[in-house]
Chains A and B, each alone.
Chain A
Amino acid sequence: MKSPIRPFARPGDAVADPILEVRDIRVEYPTPEGPARAVDRVSFAIHPGEFLGIVGESGCGKSTLLFAITQLLTPPARLAGGAIVFKGQNLVQLAAGALRTIRWRDYSVVMQSAMNALNPVKTVAAQYADAMRAHGYADRAAIRARSREVLSLVGIDPVHLNSFPHQLSGGMRQRVMIAMALLLSPELIVMDEPTSALDVVAQRSLMVQIKALQKSLGFAVIFVTHDMSLVGHFSDRLAVMYAGVIVEIGPTRRIFQSPGHPYTQGLLESFPSVYGPKIPLKGIPGSPPNMVMLPTGCRFHPRCAKVMGRCSIDPPELYEAEDMAVRCFLREAAHVRCA
């Protein structure tokens, strides 16, 4: 197997082993026209306490990737290959029982829509107690105490333990979900667009809170979003996905300052700003490809502003240069220079 992307050790970082290593994973959905590969050979690593943002448009496979990592894929989606090594264990080979122990205790998930993820007929306290009992906590007082504690952490008055989901606002429900993910102090929390249903003010306040909790409690975060501007201030590293592959991965600040892939450049030029001069924007022409009939060569070439002859023939690799990796032939030279 080809080695996955090297974990990027930054100066000043403690050289710790990655908490999660995703190697070459592939997820397929069967379709009448043959398998659609929603996630194709994606590899990355995340270190303890790191905040990794994964951005991409709808249909780029970011949610599928997330479901694959958390082993929550449901048929017809199928993990067609690769390894997901979490704290030294390959999750792909684990039995359901062993997975159940790890899940929520060592890693937890915050889903996109809190309204659908919370049980509407149970109080918050009952749902928290369920999760804790499933992991062997039996002492009711201790469960109650921990539930109060996590709710306070996210800035909700513990009286809401007795509330039903419908009695809470959208922002509060998302906070309740995040508190639930914190119940057993996991080392990794995977978040799938947890703020996309919220208004800007609630969204900003939730992001600030997630970041503050992450700093104080030290868990790692994988944060999936379609809105690149949202994670700009919060993530340490950023992975940009397009049509099932990672097209660019590197430190967030660097990607925003000098995006390497034409797709990332296009994305950054797609959202208007409330500050600075008003400039006409073009966006990216065309639309993302059909996953069953992918373009040959580079998957982005039909929409790319910098397309060259070979782009439609050979698929580019992820070329590493310094601390970035970019899937574009334009970066090949830099990669060779570095190597």
Chain B
Amino acid sequence: MSAVREGESGGKTDQAGALLEALALTRHFRIGGLFGRTLHAVDDVDLTLSAREIVALVGESGSGKSTIARLFAMVFRPTSGDIRFRGRSLREIRSHRDILAYRGQVPMVFQDPFSSLNPVHTIGYALERGLKLHRPSLSRAEREAEAIRVLDAVGLSPGRRMLGRYPHELSGGQRQRVGFARALSCQPKVILADEPVSMLDVSIRIGLLNLMAQLCESEGLSFLYITHDIASARYVAHRVVVMYAGQVVESGPTEEVLHRPVHPYTRLLLSAVPDPRAELNVAATDLGEPPRVVEPGEGCRFRWRCPLAVSICAEVTPKLRPASPGHEGACHVTVGRGVSAP
């Protein structure tokens, strides 16, 4: 892994090795009603993805993690803030050709392998279309060879036999592998994987997580792995970023965050993971009610559910501050004034 281990300050400017980065990324949505309220889907998020790195973006539904993926994929434009890919702002990418090139380098793998493949076309067709669009220089024979190569790379071998298959002939796990093959065929640098395994059976999931780790190794790819499952994040990711109500509440190296979580929300998440091998923490008094993201106002957005909340939490939105090298948390109580809680 590269040298992006900024220690002290939040490191907002260019760092060597940052492949894809979000700088104070914000996306609001206007929602209906007479007074036209604003939904803060993503607020002031800094995120860095380096080469050959898997970063897990963990959070519950409504935390803004999929909005971040869509911002990175240029489906949405940011309300404010910026995204940089290899140092270049996405705002500068305007022409159709540049957008296409960017999308080829930062493709997305979707959650639902059943609806993300066209049922009336073969797997070969699905791959070939992407290749025609993103790599027009390839000849017909080269396209076929490339399709076979990526199918083999994702474990759908023999790839040649897969080309003529239809999506309905494949299992969910195989379809999701086709999703990865399709992303891979564009010669990507970063793959945005939005809950790629949550719709798959438990026995299949681990195979895809292993595939991500293997592609990171062998093809030198980076992944933004979006998930609600912190255990699977631990399994594949080098770094974990925990989101709550549109903001990053904690980020750092995976083992560090999991063993020494500083934010009360991360602690809550960890205590709720169903794990029969661990003791049951019966103090499950938190009902898991979703956060308020419509006109949230100032203050920590977790304070309504937080066991540690103090008066300042209602007044000042906590900023991410370093708790230990590379590990940051946004909490007035546990991180701050140079005191880091155990």
Of B87-95, B197-205, B217-225, the one touching chain A: B197-205
The contact string, 1 if C-beta is below 8 Å from chain B, for chain A 67-110, is 00000000000000000000000000000000000000000000
B273 A256 Cβ-Cβ under 8 A: no
Assess whether A149 is interfacial by the CB under 8 Å rule: no
Any B CB within 8 A of the CB of A270: yes
**CB contact between B286 and one of A201, A273, A278, A284 (< 8 Å): that residue:** A201
Q: Kindly provide the distance from the CB of B154 to the nearest chain A CB, expressed in whole angstroms.
A: 15
- Chain A neighbourhood of B294, CB < 8 A: none
Chain B residue with the shortest CB-CB distance to A303? B203
Residue A13 at the B interface, CB < 8 A? no
Q: How far is the CA of A169 from the CA of B62 in the complex (A)?
A: 11
Please pick, from A204, A232, A282, the residue contacting B206 in the complex, using a CB distance under 8 A: A282
The count of residues in chain B whose C-beta lies closer than 8 Å to any C-beta of chain A is 44
Asked whether A159 is an interface residue with its Cβ less than 8 Å from the other chain, the reply is no
Q: Nearest Cβ in chain B — how far from A294, in angstroms?
A: 15
**B131 to A: closest C-beta gap in Å:** 27
The docked-state distance in angstroms from the alpha carbon of A224 to that of B274 is: 16
Interface residues of B (CB under 8 A from A): 60-61, 171-174, 201-207, 209-210, 228-232, 234-235, 255, 258, 268-278, 280, 282, 284-290
**Taking the complex as formed, is A227 at the interface, i.e. its CB lies under 8 A from any CB of chain B?**
yes
Chain A residues, CB < 8 A from B285: 205
Q: Is the CB of B275 within 8 A of A229?
A: yes
Residue in A227, A228, A233 whose beta carbon sits within 8 Å of that of B280 in the complex: A233
Any B CB within 8 A of the CB of A307: no
* Nearest-CB residue, chain B, relative to A60: B201
Pick the residue among A58, A202, A275 that contacts B277 (CB under 8 A): A275
Residue A297 at the B interface, CB < 8 A?
no
| Contact partner, B205, options A204, A205, A207, A270, Cβ 8 Å | A270
18 A-B interface contacts by CB (under 8 A): A171-B287, A171-B288, A198-B288, A199-B288, A204-B272, A205-B285, A207-B274, A208-B282, A228-B276, A233-B280, A266-B203, A272-B231, A273-B275, A274-B231, A274-B270, A274-B278, A282-B210, A287-B172
Between A58, A198, A270, A271, the greatest number of chain B beta carbons within 10 A of the residue's beta carbon is seen for A271
What is the CB-to-nearest-CB distance from A302 to chain B, in angstroms, rounded to a whole number?
13
**What chain B residues lie within 8 Å of A202 (beta carbons)?**
60, 287-289
- Expressed in whole angstroms, the Cα–Cα distance for A63 and B289 within the complex equals 28
CB distance from A130 to the nearest CB of B (A): 26
B234 to chain A: which residues have CB within 8 Å? 272-274, 278
**A267:B274 contact, CB within 8 angstroms:** no
Main SS class of interface, A: loop
Contact assessment for B269 and A201 in the assembled complex, using a CB-CB cutoff below 8 Å: yes
Q: How far apart sit A69 and B284, CA to CA, in the bound complex (Å)? A: 32
Interface flags for A296-308 (1: CB within 8 Å of B; 0: not) read 0000000000000
Q: How far is the CA of A160 from the CA of B173 in the complex (A)?
A: 41
Total contacting residues, chain A, CB less than 8 A: 44
Interface pair A271/B202, CB less than 8 Å apart: yes
B204→A287 contact, CB < 8 A = yes
- Taking a contact as CB atoms closer than 8 A, the residue among A200, A226, A227, A266 that contacts B60 in the complex is A200
Contact (Cβ within 8 A) B174 A287: yes
* Contact residues, A146-203 vs B (CB, 8 A): 155, 169-172, 198-203
A230 interfacial contact with B, CB 8 Å: yes
- Beyond A203-B272, A232-B276, 6 additional contacts (C-beta under 8 Å) are A232-B274, A233-B274, A274-B231, A275-B277, A276-B277, A288-B171
Which A residues are CB-close (under 8 A) to B268?
201
Nearest A residue (CB) for B271: A204
Q: Which chain A residue lies CB-closest to B206?
A: A283
Nearest chain-A residue to B171 (Cβ)?
A287
Min CB distance B169 to A, Å, is 10
Asked if residues B61 and A274 are in contact (CB atoms below 8 Å), the reply is no
Contact B287 A272, beta carbon cutoff 8 Å: no
Q: Which residue of A169, A171, A274, A283 contacts B273 across the interface (Cβ within 8 Å)?
A: A274
Q: Would you call A281 an interface residue if the criterion is a C-beta within 8 Å of the partner chain's C-beta atoms?
A: yes
Q: Is there an interface contact between B206 and A273, defined as CB atoms closer than 8 Å?
A: no
Contacts of A209-251 to chain B: CB distance below 8 A: 226-230, 232-233
Give, as a whole number of angstroms, the nearest-CB distance from B101 to chain A.
36
9 cross-chain pairs, A with B, having the tightest CB-CB distances, nearest first: A232-B276, A202-B288, A283-B206, A201-B288, A199-B60, A287-B171, A272-B235, A284-B203, A204-B272
A61 to chain B, nearest CB (A): 14
* Given A229-B276, A287-B174, A200-B203 contact (CB < 8 Å): no
Contact A200 B205 (CB under 8 A): no
**A317: Cβ under 8 A from any B Cβ:** no
Q: Are A57 and B286 in contact (CB under 8 A)?
A: no
Residue in A171, A203, A232, A283 whose CB lies within 8 Å of B204: A283
**B203 and A270 contacting across the interface, CB-CB below 8 Å:** yes
- Name A206's closest neighbour in chain B (CB-CB): B288
